[in-house]
Structures are given as structure tokens and as C-alpha cells.
Amino acid sequence: MPESDEYRCWLSQNEQEELIDHLSEKPQRQLAVRGMLHGLRSDELQWVRTDSIRRLDTEPEAYKLRVRGGKTGYREAPVSTKMKEQMVMLKNARGIRKDDELIQATGRTVRRWVSRAGEELAEKLEDDDWCHVSPHDLRRTWATTTYYALDSHYAVDCIMRWGGWSDRDTFVNNYLGRETDELAVEMMDEANLR
């Protein structure tokens, strides 16, 4: 960030997968990261429970997660089939009820998980940029990726509603970054610029 020593990071699709794969032996942490890469705040991970999943009344099947106690009130955030399946698998593996929390951690603990995973990846990949990744960067990555993927005039309003932002300036100035390289290639192809 220009005014301080802090960083804002956006992860490419490959980096997101690298982080998720890195946590494959720690399913609760992996699910937490996946949740933040679906736009959840770290303190909203308590709503990641199978009874909070709502199957949309559509074909093909699609899901949203009911976030009842978010910073900006109730909302429904879209979740991938992969996240929904991981939630069900973790619930079944732990033998818990559908209304039990799947991620039992405070926001501080989640920040520590992401920081530790970043440090481990920095060492493994010899890339110190990983040391700057925070839970907020995962949410920021989701916002930017979703914005460019929607490619419509209503994208900002829809993402703000899904992600629980109430202030447009905060969203645009602090969460929206440049498109990922992968998305840039797709957009260049679509516009016949490559």
C-alpha cells in the first residue's frame, strides 16, 4: 500500500489452488481458506455448517451459504459445488450434526493459519510474496475475480450483496484489483486482442 508498509495481495487461480492443495492434510484449515476464497470474512466462518447451505431451485444444481451474523447482517453467499461437497465430507468424517460448526476457530486463529501457510509456501516455493498473504487478501481475491468474471453493469452491486459490503467506495477502492493474468488472456481473446 502506498501510504504504509502493509500489502494488498490478489492470488491468481494457480496460487489459490497452491494454497488449497498445501492444506490438504488439514481439512478444517483448507475449508476455512476455501470459504474466504468464496468471499467470507474470517469471523463469518462460523456459518460454514451444512444446515446453512441452501440449494438453489435451478438446474443445474447450485448452492448458497446463509450467513446469518455477518458484519452487514444476513446475506447469502454463493458457494461452489466443491466447497459444498467438502463441507458435507468434513461433517460426515467428524460425525457431527448438520448444525455444528465445521470450522472451530476464532478470527485470530484463522489469521494465524493463513500466515503460517503463507510462510510455508514462501519457503517451499522460494517466493517471499507468500509471507504477505492474509485472510483479507483471500476475500479480496474473490471479489476481484468474481467482478471480472461477471462482466456486466450490475457486477459491483451483486458482489457487494454477496460479499456483505455496504459502502461502494470501500469496495471499489480496497477490494477491486486488476484482473488476473488468466482472466486477462480470456478477455483479450474475447476482444480479439491477442
SS3 per-residue string spanning 31-87: HHHHHHCCCCCHHHHHHCCHHHEEECCCCCCCEEEEECCCCCCCEEEEECHHHHHHH
The three-class DSSP label of residue 56 is: coil
Query: CA–CA separation, 194 vs 184, rounded Å?
Result: 10
Task: Say how many CA atoms lie within 13 Å of 166 toward its Cβ.
Answer: 6
Catalogue the E-assigned strands of 36-93. Answer: 53-55, 63-67, 75-79
The pLDDT, as a whole number, for residue 20 is: 97
CA 154 to chain centroid: 20
Cβ contact 163:139 at 8 Å: yes
Does residue 47 surpass a pLDDT of 50?
yes
Taking residues 128-134, report their average pLDDT.
95
Tell me the CA distances in angstroms from 178 to 39, 54, 103, 148, one per residue in order: 17, 31, 31, 9
pLDDT one-digit tens code per residue, 57-70: 988 889 999 998 77
Between 109 and 180, residue with greater pLDDT? 109
C-alpha cell at 107: 478470527
pLDDT one-digit tens code per residue, 143-188: 988 888 886 777 888 889 999 999 989 888 888 887 777 777 887 7
In percent, how much of the chain has pLDDT > 90? 64
Does residue 136 surpass a pLDDT of 90?
yes
Does residue 2 surpass a pLDDT of 70?
no
Q: Where are the domains of the chain?
A: 13-190
For the entire predicted model, the pTM comes to 0.84
Instruction: Give the CATH number of domain 13-190; options: 2.40.50.140, 3.40.640.10, 1.10.357.10, 1.10.443.10.
Output: 1.10.443.10
The three-class DSSP label of residue 55 is: strand
